[in-house]
Amino acid sequence: MKENLDPIENIVQNLKNKSSVKQKTYHHLCATFEALSNRSKEVVKEIKTRITDVDKEVTVAFKKISEREFHVKVAGDLVIFVLHTNIITFPDDHGIIKSRYVAEDDNRRYFGQIMMYNFMSDSVKYNRMDDSGYLLGRILINYENHFFVEGEGQLNFMFDNLSEKIINKMDIDVIIKLAITTAATSDLITPPFQEIKHIKLFDKVESTQSMGGGRKIGFLMSYNDKIS
């Protein structure tokens, strides 16, 4: 801060600058989310065309929930894409923040997020409120429309560095297909017998559809392995 600069004026200028950066970030985030939604719809059509010739009983569907959420259902899996409205940053010791790219312009440290969750489709169908979903990954985009991805499986390393270019249609296509593939290859694991041996009548009445149901292991289990 310059010595002769009015402190209030300094605050105003900082707020203007940060607000402008966050608005640009959010604009890019919304555009990317719309592109994800449109391409997901096309991918679902492509899968439907191919799977129908093999097994007509396998359900594949796209559903737009709102301007900030859409679902892709593939058999028993539901991949939920959610646009997070808040702009975030990372601690100073985070690898992205310590990169040369961010060091050259501190405004590059602010990101919008698109979250990709995996639920069992029956959890939503039967409104099983106690069922868990798992974070497959998240796309983070800054005000220059550069991005990186944190996630499970290939999502965790294909786009783990902040891109030197803006996100494009090919990136979006790969991310969608990786998210669906990761969800579909994460199997259900049944709870231990002793864990479900005794139940209360309330549980039977309220949770008939979920009694003895499996659990998606996915991101939570593999993430725990990484930090153990």
- The residue written with tokens 């690898």 in the block is 95
pLDDT tens digits, 107-161: 999 999 999 999 888 777 777 777 777 889 999 999 999 999 998 888 888 888 8
First-to-final CA distance of the chain: 44
Q: Is 64 helix (H, G, I), strand (E, B) or coil?
A: strand
Q: 25: part of which helix (H) or strand (E)?
A: helix 7-52
Percentage with pLDDT > 90 across the chain:
48
Check if the beta carbon of residue 107 is closer than 8 Å to that of residue 17.
yes
* Tokens at 202, concatenated: 């309330």
Q: Is the pTM value of this prediction over 0.75?
A: yes
